[in-house]
Amino acid sequence: MKKYSLYSVILGVISIMLLINIVSIYISVTQHREDMIKAAIEEKTHLAEIIDETMTSPLWIYRLALVPGMERAFIEEMSEFEDVKYIRVVSSDGTIYKSSIKGEWGKIIKEPDIYRVIKSGKKIVKDQDFEGERIKLIIYPGHRDKTIWVGFTLKRVEEAIRVMLIRDISFSLGGIAAVLLTLFLTSKEVIIDPLKKVTEACREIGKGNLDVKIETKSKTEIGELADTFNEMTLELAEAKDELVRLNLHLEEKVEERTRQLKEAQEQLIQSAKMATIGTLAGGIAHEINNPLGAILTNTQMLLMEVKDPDQRESLKLIEDGTRRCRDIVTTLLKYSRKPELGEFKSINLNDVINDACNLLQHQLNNENIKIKKEYTKVPNIEGNANELQQVFTNLILNAKDAIKRIRKEGEIIIRTYQEDKLVVAQVIDNGCGIPKENISKIFDPFFTTKDVGKGTGLGLSITYKIIEKHNGRIDVSSNVGEGTTFTIKLPKAE
C-alpha cells in the first residue's frame, strides 16, 4: 500500500481548503455581479422613466414652445449620466425621434423589439455591440407609442467586481498562508518528532526489544498514542513472561492432558461396553419374558384352586419369585430401549430432582435419612423427565443403603449449579464408600455389593445408560468410611 508523509497530507488538506475557498469566492462574486447588474438596470430604467415623464408633461410642451432647441439639450444632458452611452426616443414605426448621437434624428431603424415593447408595455433588456464595446440596452415603453432607449456600459460594475475578487483572493491566500505557516512551525515539535519516536519504538519491538518506552510531554492525541503504546509494550512483555512460564510447565500440562485423555478413553470403553451389554440384555429379556408370563399365570390359577396350606405356601414362593424375575426383565427392557423421536423436551433439573425426593421422602424419613438441597438457578436441559427421575431415585436409594450400612442416621446432599454450558448435579452421602477396586465396575450390569435378594445390580448401569442417552456424563469419587459423590453433567438446552 502506498505511503504518504504527514507533510503531503497537510499539503493535500491545504489544497482542498484552497479549492473550497476559490469555489466560494466564485459563487460570491458571481452573485454580487448579478446583483450589481440588476441594480444598474433598475437605475437606467428609472432614468428612462424620467425622460418619458418629462417629455410628455404639459409644462415641458409649454417650455419647448418658448425655448427652441431645449429638447436636444435635455437629451444630451441625460446621456451624460454615469455609464450611459446614448439615449434615443424612437417612435412605433422605427423613426428616431430624439437621440444623443449626432446625425441620427429622423432616421429609421428596423427593430422588431419596438413593436413587442409597445404591445406588452414591458421593457426589454439585451446585450448590444456599440463602438466596439459590449453594452446593455434597455428599450422602455413610453407614452404616445414611443420607446425610450438607454444604452449603458458595465465597466464600473466589472471594475468593482475585479476589485472585490482581488480582495477576496488576497484575504483567502493570506489566511491559508497563515494556517500553513502555523502548521509548519508547530507540526515538527507536536506531531512529526513524536511520530518518529513511535516509529523507532515499533522497529525496536520488531527486533524483540520489549523494554522500549516512548518519552513525550505532549498532551494531545499524539501523547495519548504514546501512552497507549507504552501500555501495549508492557502487556506484551507480561505476555512474553507468561509464555516463558508456560513453556517451563509444559511437561506438567502434557501429563495433565494425558490423564484427561486416559479418562476420556475409559469413558468411551465404558460406553461401548454398556451398549453391547444393553443389546444383549434386550435379547435375553425378550426370550425369557414369555415363559415367565406363562409360569406366573399358571401359578396364580393354581393358587385359586389349591386349598392345602403347604402347597399354597410353595405356590406363593413361586409367584413371588416369578414376579421378581418379571421386574428384572422389565428393567432390562427399559435399559436396552432407545429413546423415541420427540421423547426429549425442555425441562428443569431442579424440578426433576424435587419429584424424585418427594417420592422417596416418606421412606427416607422412616430410615432417619435427611436430604439437604443446595440448589442454584440453572438453565433448562433437553431430556426425558421420567428417565432422569429414575436416575436420581437410584442414586438416592443407593446413598441411603450406603449410609445404613455404617450408621443409624445420615444426610444426603443434593447440589446443582451451572458450569459453562453444562448443568451439574451432585448426590453426596456420608455412607460406607466404595473400595477403589470396585469403582471401575459399579456401572457394569448385575454388579452389586448388596446382600442376595436386595439388589439386581442394574440400578447404576441403567443410570449410566440414561445419562449417556442425554449426551451427558456421570463420574464418581469415593473414600471408604467417609462417603461417595456422584457428579452428573448434562448440556443445557440451546
359-396: pLDDT as tens digits: 788 889 999 999 999 999 999 999 998 889 889 999 99
Q: Which residues, including other chains, have CB under 8 Å from residue 328's CB and lie 6 or more apart?
A: 456, 458
pLDDT, mean of residues 71-98: 84
Q: What is the pLDDT of residues 107-165, one digit of tens each?
A: 888 888 888 888 888 999 998 888 888 898 999 998 888 899 899 998 888 888 888 88
Distance (Å, whole) CA 319 – CA 321: 5
Q: How far apart are CA 25 and CA 328, in angstroms?
A: 102
- Which residues make beta-bridge pairs with 137? 126, 151
- Residue-by-residue DSSP string for 136-183: EEEEEE-STTEEEEEEE--HHHHHHHHHHHHHHHHHHHHHHHHHHHHH
**Distances, alpha carbon 333 to alpha carbons 284, 339, 349, 418, 472, in Å:** 9, 12, 25, 33, 21
Under the phi-then-psi rule, with left for phi > 0, alpha for psi from -120 to 50, and beta for the rest, what region is 4? Answer: beta
| 410 touches 430 (CB < 8 A) | yes
Listed in sequence order, the residues at least 6 apart from 435 whose beta carbon sits closer than 8 Å to its beta carbon are: 480
Judge if pTM exceeds 0.85: no
Closest by Cα among 398, 404, 375 to 463: 398
Any idea which architecture 343-494 has in CATH? Answer: 2-Layer Sandwich (3.30)
Nearest to 427 by CA among 406, 398, 456: 398
Q: Residues of the chain with pLDDT > 90: what percent?
A: 21
**Environment class of residue 467 by beta-carbon count within 10 Å: exposed (0-12), middle (13-18) or buried (19+)?**
buried
> In which band, very low, low, confident or very high, does the pLDDT at 21 lie, cut at 50, 70 and 90?
confident
- Bigger pLDDT: 423 vs 103: 423
63, 70 in Cβ contact below 8 A? yes
Supply angle C-alpha 439, 445, 448, rounded to 5. 60
Helix (H, G, I), strand (E, B) or coil at 121: coil
The whole-number average pLDDT for the span 167-178 is 79
**Which range has the worst mean pLDDT, 133-142, 310-319, 477-486?**
310-319
- Provide CB contacts within 8 A for 292, sequence distance 6+: 322, 325, 326, 329
Write a three-state SS string for 367-402.
Answer: CCEEEEEECCCCCCEEECHHHHHHHHHHHHHHHHHH
Residue 375, Cβ neighbours under 10 Å: how many?
A: 14
Q: Give which of 442, 433, 438, 410 is closest to 480, Cα–Cα.
A: 433
Label residue 341 by pLDDT band (50, 70, 90). Answer: very low
The overall average pLDDT reported for the chain is 81
pLDDT tens, residue by residue, 31-63:
888 888 898 889 888 988 888 888 877 776 667
pLDDT exceeds cutoff 80 at 228: no
Q: Most confidently modeled of 126-140, 231-245, 357-371, 476-490?
A: 476-490
Confidence of residue 99 (pLDDT cuts 50, 70, 90): confident
Domain boundaries, the chain: 6-153, 161-245, 250-337, 343-494
Cell numbers given for 426: 451432585
Which residues, including other chains, have CB under 8 Å from residue 390's CB and lie 6 or more apart? 462, 463, 466
Count of all residues that appear for the chain in the document:
494
CATH number for the domain whose boundaries are 250-337: 1.10.287
250-337 matches 343-494 in fold: no
Sequence-ordered list of residues with C-beta below 8 angstroms from that of 155, at least 6 positions apart, any chain: 83
Contacts of 45 (CB under 8 A, 6+ apart): 123, 138, 140, 150
Average confidence (pLDDT) over 423-444: 90
Inform me whether the pLDDT recorded for 423 exceeds 90.
Answer: yes
* Crossing angle (nearest 10°) for helices 6-55 and 155-187: 160
For residue 399, the Cα-to-chain-centroid distance in whole angstroms is 51
Of 196 and 454, the structure prediction assigns the larger pLDDT to 196
Say which residue, 303 or 207, is predicted with more confidence.
Answer: 303
**What would the mean pLDDT of 451-455 be, rounded to a whole number?**
55
Q: The domain 6-153: what is its CATH number? A: 3.30.450.20
pLDDT of 274 higher than 70: no
Phi, psi of 216 (to 5 degrees): -150, 145
Strand segments (E) across 24-162:
84-91, 96-99, 124-130, 133-141, 146-152
Burial track 441-462 (b if 16+ CB lie within 10 A, e otherwise):
ebbbbeebeeeeeebbbbbbbb
Helix 250-305 and helix 459-469, axial crossing angle in degrees, nearest 10: 120
